[in-house]
Amino acid sequence: MSSKLSMRTNRLTNLVSIITCSSQMSRKIKMIRKSALLVISIGLLASVSIQAQTVNLVGNKAATYIDEHELPARQMDLVRAALSEDWDANITATTQAWSGSGLRSGKFAGYIDHYSLNDTKDNYIYSKPYLQINLHAVSRYQRAEDIVRLEQLYRERVGIENRFANTDQLRGERDVRWARSPSFFDNIEQLAEDRVDFLLIDKAMADEINLLLKSVGETPIYVSKAPVISVSVSLAMNRNYTESEAVIAAFDKGIKRLKADGKYTELLKQDLGRESLLDRRIYNNMLVKW
């Protein structure tokens, strides 16, 4: 009788041990499941955080500065580099009409090419100026070198790009007869075809066209020794975009960093010991007329 009782006790003990082990195993599985869910949740949050760092910006097309189809776009490169530590800048190069529409609809959070020739708007916040555009008088005539003021071009027909002519400060200028053009190419073409005697253009772009002219054995254009107008360029962010202040702060910090390590000059390609950034295939017919 004692032997049978002992066997039953042992069986009961074993059964309790099995149940206990199963319970412990169940708790471990639950803990593993919870840990796995926690890891997945953290991964999803990190993914959302990374996606939230993308900011959509826009700029109006300008040769060698803001462009598409893998053409040189040094201003876009500069903005991306300045924001790269904190933001993924998705920049669209388009026309003024499309950029304005996109900014109003909220498709774009800001634009990279606010010119000091335009008034600031209350619904935007602006970075510190990060780029200087010096507008010089250029011509085939050497007297262009002595022009330092717009008044010296009184009643002259002067070629200028729309991005400068259609600004708050120059729109009402009446002393000069502006010959407006939608692009740098169209502006230079006016000079090539003798439709104007003078242009008012970015000094950096004057350097680019002169590099191109020299490469085909043509005489460079004359450039005024001093800028007639200086234009500061800033990044502008819509106040309705919740991270606008953070983007501006990161951008100003990034520009300072790029200037300190020398990449600012490199990105803007300010060293002229190179070929022109202008695509010769586009300018071939014009160079023939030159």
The pLDDT value recorded for residue 171 is 92
Tokens of 11: 């069986």
Domain tally for the chain? 3
- Residue 231's H or E segment, with its range, is strand 229-238
Same domain as 170, residue 219: yes
- pTM for this structure? 0.81
Same domain as 218, residue 145: yes
Same domain as 140, residue 106: no
Same domain as 223, residue 136: yes
Considering the domain boundaries, does residue 249 fall inside one?
yes
Considering the domain boundaries, does residue 276 fall inside one?
no
Rounded CA gap, 187 and 2, in Å?
A: 114
Same domain as 152, residue 220: yes
The pLDDT value recorded for residue 36 is 47
Rounded CA gap, 111 and 251, in Å?
A: 13
Considering the domain boundaries, does residue 158 fall inside one?
yes
The pLDDT value recorded for residue 45 is 46
The total number of residues shown for the chain amounts to 290
E strand segments, 95-161: 110-115, 124-126, 131-139, 157-161
Q: What is the largest CA-CA distance in the chain?
A: 129
Same domain as 205, residue 145: yes
The pLDDT value recorded for residue 69 is 86
Tokens of 10: 């042992």
Q: Do residues 199 and 187 touch, judged by C-beta distance below 8 A?
A: yes
Domain that holds residue 152: 132-230+283-289
Residue-wise pLDDT tens for the chain (290 aa)? 445 445 555 554 554 454 454 555 555 545 545 554 444 444 544 444 445 499 999 999 999 999 998 899 999 999 999 999 999 999 999 998 899 999 999 999 999 999 999 999 999 999 999 999 999 999 999 999 999 999 999 999 999 999 999 999 999 898 899 999 999 999 999 999 999 999 999 999 999 999 999 999 999 999 999 999 999 999 999 999 999 999 999 999 999 999 999 999 999 998 999 999 998 889 998 888 78
Same domain as 64, residue 24: no
The three-state secondary structure class of 186 is helix
Same domain as 48, residue 59: no
Same domain as 98, residue 168: no
Same domain as 99, residue 72: yes
CATH number at residue 62: 3.40.190.10
The three-state secondary structure class of 277 is coil
The half-sphere exposure of 123 on its side-chain side, counting CA atoms within 13 A, is 9
Rounded CA gap, 255 and 112, in Å?
A: 13
The pLDDT value recorded for residue 288 is 81
The pLDDT value recorded for residue 33 is 56
Same domain as 249, residue 226: no
Considering the domain boundaries, does residue 273 fall inside one?
no
The pLDDT value recorded for residue 26 is 56
The pLDDT value recorded for residue 30 is 53
Same domain as 60, residue 45: no
